[in-house]
Chains A and B, each alone.
Chain A
């Protein structure tokens, strides 16, 4: 073999003043890969926490055992967050493989560890209320959010699927019927003579409720089950919010 190659390379290095790339460039690249990994895992955890949050808020568990229950359950799944969860997980795995020693691990092992990390992170975010605050923020501030994912209002307003919700306008106990305005400001006549009414339901004017039943004809609905608009979970959220508002007011009072 040609022994002159080494000499040629050395001459070229000296003539063309080739220099080794500085160490900081490699360190920076490695740090960016590490930061990206952290960002993907955090995003995945947030997406997972929002999935849990939404499933909890939508009370999709109520759909089980009902006609079309599975279809409704699938229709209510927050696909947008599932998609982001899948994307973040994929990018995290791909990014990990680009780390210095990432190639040493089998793909299925990396995926398994990341599922555990993202799942645990998601539960932590959910428990700490991060997902709750994020969901509220997105619903309020992002105008198209309701179009890309189901919110409790959009999920519980599918009359053709037997789901109706809104605010009671008038209730008549004699005829077991009420008038209610849904979230799109449409007025409905609801017959609840055959309905199972949950104990915490308040059908006074201005109270929000949600109904499972059947759309009989245009703007006429037969209720099978009536539930308070805010389930246990939503009530807890509201209580926490009221408490924090109260605390804030007290803090302001004290400052004065």
Chain B
């Protein structure tokens, strides 16, 4: 395979080629490997090794189901959906606590609060990501996941709707409720955001 040619191909084109030859799956996986592993760690409390195992299982599952890939969707949404479902079944099997957030040192969580102008009034914009991670531990797992997808993975409402299989309107409502919930928890627990 010529790498140059493959780089020009879209995810969806590569997914189509993967149906014929598994070698085309390699560049596709390479594009998403880091993203999927980070996503798993952001929504679970698993150690890095477990996240890698889960990542492998997710890619194999995606390969097995490649003929079910809906070409109307973005490949990334489809892959994230598989990852989301796989993590949920992992939680069910292992009965792991869902409400522990794994903070890996990135600062993108600041976006969550800074994205809402009404909300930032009372909050210090210099809040650290670590502090935010603590705050997110207080909120419900489904709220946390939707915030991770929106502000850390940079997905838009339509993509989140496709990943979580919920209507776009519901996603908007969830994000808004999640933010309000965080605000309440900050006040209730008297969390000081300034380090």
Q: List residues of A whose CB falls within 8 A of some B CB.
A: 1-3, 5-10, 12-14, 18-23, 25-26, 100, 103-106
A13/B67 contact (C-beta < 8 A), A1-B33, A103-B161 known: no
Please give the distance in Å from B153's CB to the nearest CB on chain A: 15
Q: How far is the CA of A6 from the CA of B22 in the complex (A)?
A: 12
Q: How far is the CA of A103 from the CA of B169 in the complex (A)?
A: 11
Given contact pairs A12-B60, A22-B67, A103-B166, enumerate 19 new A-B contacts (beta carbons under 8 Å).
A1-B33, A1-B37, A2-B37, A5-B29, A5-B37, A5-B52, A6-B26, A7-B26, A9-B25, A9-B63, A10-B26, A12-B56, A18-B64, A21-B67, A21-B68, A25-B67, A26-B68, A103-B161, A104-B161
**Can you pick out 24 interface pairs between chain A and chain B where the beta carbons lie within 8 Å of each other?**
A1-B33, A1-B38, A2-B33, A2-B52, A3-B33, A5-B55, A5-B59, A6-B29, A6-B33, A6-B59, A9-B29, A9-B63, A10-B23, A10-B29, A12-B56, A13-B63, A18-B64, A20-B64, A20-B66, A25-B67, A26-B65, A26-B67, A103-B166, A106-B167
Please give the distance in Å from A112's CB to the nearest CB on chain B: 14
Q: How far is the CA of A86 from the CA of B6 in the complex (A)?
A: 53
Cross-chain contact of B167 among A8, A25, A26, A103 (Cβ < 8 A): A103
Within 8 A of A (CB), among B138-190: 161, 165-170
Q: Are B65 and A21 neighbours in the complex by a CB distance under 8 Å? A: yes
Q: Does B34 contact A (CB under 8 A)?
A: yes
A18 cross-chain contacts in B, Cβ below 8 A:
60, 63-64
Q: Are B22 and A14 neighbours in the complex by a CB distance under 8 Å? A: yes
Name A98's closest neighbour in chain B (CB-CB): B165
Please give the distance in Å from B174's CB to the nearest CB on chain A: 13
Q: Does B19 contact A (CB under 8 A)?
A: yes
Cross-chain contact of A100 among B59, B65, B70, B161 (Cβ < 8 A): B70
B55 cross-chain contacts in A, Cβ below 8 A:
5
B22 cross-chain contacts in A, Cβ below 8 A:
10, 13-14
A20 cross-chain contacts in B, Cβ below 8 A:
18-19, 63-67
Q: Does B106 contact A (CB under 8 A)?
A: no
| Range for the number of chain B residues in contact with chain A | 20 to 34
A13 cross-chain contacts in B, Cβ below 8 A:
22, 25, 60, 63
Interface mask (B1-41 → A, CB under 8 Å = 1, otherwise 0): 00000000000000000110011011001100110011000
Q: Are B168 and A6 neighbours in the complex by a CB distance under 8 Å? A: no
Q: Are A104 and B37 neighbours in the complex by a CB distance under 8 Å? A: no
A5 cross-chain contacts in B, Cβ below 8 A:
29, 33, 37, 52, 55-56, 59
Please give the distance in Å from B7's CB to the nearest CB on chain A: 15
Interface centre among B34, B68, B70, B161 (most CB of A within 10 A): B68
Please give the distance in Å from A247's CB to the nearest CB on chain B: 53
Q: Are A9 and B60 neighbours in the complex by a CB distance under 8 Å? A: yes
Please give the distance in Å from B145's CB to the nearest CB on chain A: 16
A12 cross-chain contacts in B, Cβ below 8 A:
56, 60
Interface centre among A3, A5, A18, A19 (most CB of B within 10 A): A5
Q: How far is the CA of A104 from the CA of B164 in the complex (A)?
A: 10
Interface mask (B45-76 → A, CB under 8 Å = 1, otherwise 0): 00000001001100110011111101000000
A8 cross-chain contacts in B, Cβ below 8 A:
56
Q: How far is the CA of A22 from the CA of B65 in the complex (A)?
A: 9
Q: How far is the CA of A6 from the CA of B29 in the complex (A)?
A: 5
B33 cross-chain contacts in A, Cβ below 8 A:
1-3, 5-6
Name B58's closest neighbour in chain A (CB-CB): A9
Name A22's closest neighbour in chain B (CB-CB): B67
Q: How far is the CA of A12 from the CA of B169 in the complex (A)?
A: 40
Please give the distance in Å from A24's CB to the nearest CB on chain B: 9
Please give the distance in Å from B43's CB to the nearest CB on chain A: 16
Cross-chain contact of B25 among A10, A21, A106 (Cβ < 8 A): A10
